Amino acid sequence: MKGIPAIELRNVTKKFGSVVANKNVNLSVMRGEILSILGENGSGKTTLMNMISGIYYPDEGQIFIDGEEVVIRSPKDAFRYKIGMIHQHFKLVDLFTAAENVVLGLEEKEKYSVKSAAQKVAELCERYGFEIDPNKKIYEMSVSEKQTVEILKVLYRGADILILDEPTAVLTPQETQKLFAVLRKMREEGHSIVIITHKLHEVMSLSDRVSVLRKGEYIDTVVTAETTEEELTEMMVGQKVVLNIERSEPKDRRERLMVKDLNCTNTDGVKMLNHVSFTAYSGEILGIAGIAGSGQRELLEAIAGLQSLESGEILYHNPKTDEVVELRDKNTKQIHDLGVRLSFIPEDRLGMGLVANMGIVDNILLRRYQKGKGMFVQRAKPREIAEQIVEDLNVVTPDLKTPVRRLSGGNVQKVLLGRELSFTPTVLMAAYPVRGLDINSSYTIYNVLNEQKEKGVAVIFVGEDLDVLIDLCDRIMVINSGTITGMVDARSATKEQIGLLMTKTDGGAEA
């Protein structure tokens, strides 16, 4: 079978509306080979793999399995061609045992019994060296055990092409090493493995070849042994694009928010923030760069009083009274009562930011109702603010009562930003504020952030587009798996430098 790829994609293109997620991608994986797919957030890695596993259907291009052209329309088709995908979000029934999850939905000829299922799963574990109790319930398992069950599920179904979507994102270095040992074992048995990742050291240590995607486009495939981390980073981030965002020099720069040694672990036991310390100054934009899910959300929510912490301090310097107050372990109301004017634009605009079924006025009222007197709500002031926002930020809406979910993404973001700015904040935190927005709306948002900076607000901007971060921010802090890996001056930083800080882990899994 050498010579003919186990799976090959030729000129595969996928569009969602006007957005091109994948453009003319060519890929091939041999039997007994591990291929890494490397790319930044939004480079189209997951979309590509979803096309192989039958979740999406390509608009153009061909897929070949063992040299024959195939059509994969559903996950069931993918099963038939022995393709198994391990998703980032596990699809397991918590209340069932490992064995029950593995056999779920399978139509087998022999009579079903819990015992024989457990037996077969145990045999599979033995063969590949998994350490797992088939009778353990999923809800009692750690993340890595759950992942093992997912892998067992596809192996049990006879998959010999395995696709893993960021499998190490939730694992500790030790667990990652174990996973890699299993994957190598599978390679020896002749399985083809595709692993999506953006951790460079994992690519270097595990894979035979690397394919790089950037903004949906296929860049190149290189043999791992013949490349370097620097070369891969360059392929991944590409050339710097000049955006012409205005940037003024910070004025009257003073300590506003001091974060010291924050630690936090999520419910799965994964460390989300690891000794995070930094200071945000008034009159500057501090950018936060990192792969999605590296702890940005936890960091912002901790500052906003929405995330409990294991240890650390969050200190706020009040410019009016010149006092320093501790914000940790206080809820949003308590923080507000301390006279801290903190505004937070969360990533999930219609979930955390606004109430989707309420109009602009009522959404503004949400942040102000405690100011009213008497038992009836007073809408006069919120309505004034709403009118002001619509005018200032060019919000396109039929009227102020239209539920915000009916507005476009850009207009929703403007409403949210406008509401938060109407409180004249001293600290403004924005998570991915231009995600999904068109160019014009994006520039409106950049301008608003710049205005705030000139007013002396400490702006914290979590972004994903490195070009924007470099052109907009004054300093950029890089976060990588909950650890701050660098603080660079945006005026002199390069994309390669930031890209390496985002993806490289020192002292990580050296297997």
**Residues in contact with other proteins by the rule CB under 8 A:** 55-56, 75-76, 79, 91-96, 100, 103-106, 112-114, 137, 139
H helical segments located in 53-161: 75-80, 98-103, 114-128, 143-156
Q: Which is nearer to other proteins, 103 or 132 (CB)?
A: 103
The CA distance from 434 to 505, in Å, is: 28
Q: Which is nearer to other proteins, 55 or 358 (CB)?
A: 55
CB 86 within 8 A of CB 151: yes
DSSP sequence for 32-81: T-EEEEE--TTSSHHHHHHHHTTSS--SEEEEEETTEEE---SHHHHHHT
Residue 277 belongs to what H/E stretch?
strand 271-281
Q: Which is nearer to other proteins, 357 or 440 (CB)?
A: 357
CB 22 within 8 A of CB 216: yes
The least CB distance from residue 91 to other proteins, in Å, is: 4
Q: Which is nearer to other proteins, 98 or 309 (CB)?
A: 98
Q: Which is nearer to other proteins, 100 or 362 (CB)?
A: 100
Exposure string over 282-298, b if 16+ CB within 10 A, otherwise e: bbbbbbbbbbbbbbbbb
The least CB distance from residue 51 to other proteins, in Å, is: 11
The least CB distance from residue 60 to other proteins, in Å, is: 18
The least CB distance from residue 427 to other proteins, in Å, is: 36
Q: Which is nearer to other proteins, 158 or 190 (CB)?
A: 158
Q: Which is nearer to other proteins, 104 or 241 (CB)?
A: 104
Task: Give residue 10's identity as a one-letter amino acid code.
Answer: R
The least CB distance from residue 349 to other proteins, in Å, is: 19
The least CB distance from residue 56 to other proteins, in Å, is: 7
CB atoms closer than 10 angstroms to residue 202 = 23
Q: Which is nearer to other proteins, 5 or 42 (CB)?
A: 42
The least CB distance from residue 217 to other proteins, in Å, is: 24
The least CB distance from residue 140 to other proteins, in Å, is: 9
For the record, the structure tokens of 301 come out as 């929510």
CB 282 within 8 A of CB 182: no
The CA distance from 391 to 312, in Å, is: 42
CA distances from 210 to 6, 182, 207, 306 (A): 16, 19, 7, 40
